[in-house]
């Protein structure tokens, strides 16, 4: 074995085993911490865990579960488990007492094996319970028993209904029994940041790239849409997201990609006259903030026709789904999308 390969091998092993050791140590530390939390609770007060660690659109979709669990256990100490990047989505939720930002699933596994929590509502299944460094998958027994997995989950309803079923909160394939409108809890920090952007009174927000290519619409058609909107309507066009995929020169277009936090993006969407985007995290921000949405959707893997949303978007009271049965999003023509957008814009103009 060449020296360079030898060094790479042992560097990899060092990082892996350091990670595993850290995960176990943090798991035992968290076990002690929550034992202390539980010792300070009243005699009949339950310690409850809600686990939804990713992605940010999924966490927003699952938000009504926090309020539903609170209604079931009004005196409980409720802890939401999430990845650190998404702590902001739940830390100001009044239905939650505490947010636990996990290091990895191994840490959580070690913690839960201590049997500290009285109830654990697992809102995810195998593919969300994986640490690639530890090479560990954590199963959700409820999801296994109900045969809910990455290949069939939309057969069980929208995301909120699926998560409630994997958490054993509702019977299989039933509607969510509580208020199903997702909410966000925006703070002054986000409002002040967006105030500083000096956005116009009338603007349309676009989100043009998801984290999963089969959900996307080609960039050149987005560019056509921007050009047509700029030429036809007196609205500024604001793009949000992690990274822009557009090459646009019109003066009425503004690129805010990569410049905002998740909640700052939510505040921008909240102030917009209209949101146009994909089945992705920002569309869940639109649903939660109440901005009317035009959502470009297509067939997805095993799901020729699906609806990820609850609330106003899910019932299409506050959104229009732009799709054709069995047609992937990338195959939607510009003319088809343009017609749907024009119908909504004409109503905005009248209003």
- Residue 1: which pLDDT band, with cuts at 50, 70 and 90? low
Please, which residues bridge with residue 173 across strands? none
Q: Does domain 190-350 have CATH number 3.30.465.10?
A: no
User: What topology does CATH give the domain 13-166?
Assistant: Rossmann fold (3.40.50)
Per the CB < 8 A criterion, the answer to whether 65 and 164 are in contact is: yes
**Over 90: is that where the pLDDT of 269 sits?**
yes
Output the six-digit token pair for 99: 């947010």
**Alpha carbons 104 and 107: distance in angstroms, whole number:** 6
Nearest to 158 by CA among 27, 305, 22: 305
**Alpha carbons 320 and 323: distance in angstroms, whole number:** 9
Per the CB < 8 A criterion, the answer to whether 274 and 292 are in contact is: yes
Give the number of other Cβ atoms within 10 Å of residue 114's Cβ. 14
- Residue 126: which pLDDT band, with cuts at 50, 70 and 90? confident
**Over 80: is that where the pLDDT of 3 sits?**
no
pLDDT score, position 6 = 60
pLDDT score, position 131 = 94
Q: What percent of the chain has pLDDT over 90?
A: 91
Global pTM reads 0.96
Lowest mean pLDDT among 45-49, 134-138, 258-262: 134-138
Q: Residue range 316-324: average pLDDT?
A: 97
The mean predicted confidence, pLDDT, of the chain is 95
**Over 60: is that where the pLDDT of 350 sits?**
no
**Alpha carbons 265 and 152: distance in angstroms, whole number:** 31
Please tell me the total number of residues recorded for the chain in this structure.
351
Q: Residue range 142-162: average pLDDT?
A: 95
CA 264 vs CA 88, 188, 201, 245: distances in Å: 11, 10, 17, 20
Q: Work out whether strand 47-51 and strand 77-82 pair parallel, antiparallel, or are unpaired.
A: parallel
Please, which residues bridge with residue 106 across strands? none
> Who's near 64: CB < 8 A, 6+ residues apart?
160, 176, 178, 179, 180, 181, 182, 183, 310, 311
Per the CB < 8 A criterion, the answer to whether 283 and 208 are in contact is: no
Q: Residue range 62-81: average pLDDT?
A: 98
- Residue 7: which pLDDT band, with cuts at 50, 70 and 90? low
More confident residue, 297 or 5: 297
**Alpha carbons 313 and 319: distance in angstroms, whole number:** 5
**215-250 pLDDT, tens per residue?**
999 999 999 999 999 999 999 999 999 999 999 989
**Over 70: is that where the pLDDT of 323 sits?**
yes
Same fold, 13-166 and 190-350: yes
**Alpha carbons 287 and 160: distance in angstroms, whole number:** 13
Q: Work out whether strand 130-131 and strand 136-137 pair parallel, antiparallel, or are unpaired.
A: antiparallel
Q: What percent of the chain has pLDDT over 70?
A: 97
Q: Residue range 258-262: average pLDDT?
A: 98
**Domain extents in the chain:** 13-166, 190-350
- Residue 348: which pLDDT band, with cuts at 50, 70 and 90? confident
């Amino acid at each position: 074995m060449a020296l360079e390969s030898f060094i790479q091998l042992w560097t990899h092993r060092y990082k892996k085993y350091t990670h595993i050791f850290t995960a176990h140590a943090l798991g035992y530390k968290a076990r002690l911490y929550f034992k202390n939390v539980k010792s300070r609770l009243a005699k009949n007060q339950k310690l409850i865990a809600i686990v939804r660690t990713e992605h940010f659109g999924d966490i927003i979709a699952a938000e009504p579960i926090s309020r539903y669990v609170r209604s079931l256990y009004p005196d409980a100490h409720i802890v939401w488990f999430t990845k650190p990047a998404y702590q902001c989505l739940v830390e100001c939720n009044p239905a939650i007492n505490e947010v636990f930002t996990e290091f990895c699933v191994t840490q959580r596994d070690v913690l839960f094996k201590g049997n500290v929590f009285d109830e654990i509502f697992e809102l995810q299944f195998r593919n969300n319970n994986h640490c690639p460094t530890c090479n560990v998958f954590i199963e959700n027994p409820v999801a296994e028993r109900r045969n809910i997995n990455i290949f069939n989950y939309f057969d069980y309803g929208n995301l909120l209904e699926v998560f409630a079923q994997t958490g054993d909160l509702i019977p299989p394939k039933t509607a969510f029994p509580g208020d199903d409108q997702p909410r966000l809890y925006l703070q002054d920090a986000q409002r002040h940041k967006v105030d500083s952007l000096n956005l116009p009174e009338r603007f349309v927000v676009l989100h043009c790239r998801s984290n999963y290519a089969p959900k996307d619409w080609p960039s050149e058609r987005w560019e056509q849409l921007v050009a047509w909107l700029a030429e036809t309507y007196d609205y500024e066009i604001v793009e949000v997201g992690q990274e822009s995929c557009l090459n646009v020169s019109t003066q009425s277009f503004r690129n805010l990609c990569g410049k905002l936090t998740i909640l700052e993006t939510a505040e921008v969407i909240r102030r917009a006259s209209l949101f146009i985007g994909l089945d992705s995290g920002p569309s869940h921000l639109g649903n939660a903030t109440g901005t009317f949405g035009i959502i470009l959707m297509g067939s997805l893997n095993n799901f020729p026709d699906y609806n990820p949303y609850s609330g106003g978007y899910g019932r299409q009271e506050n959104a229009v789904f732009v799709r054709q049965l069995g047609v992937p999003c990338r195959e939607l023509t510009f003319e088809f999308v343009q017609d749907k957008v024009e119908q909504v814009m004409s109503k905005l103009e009248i209003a």
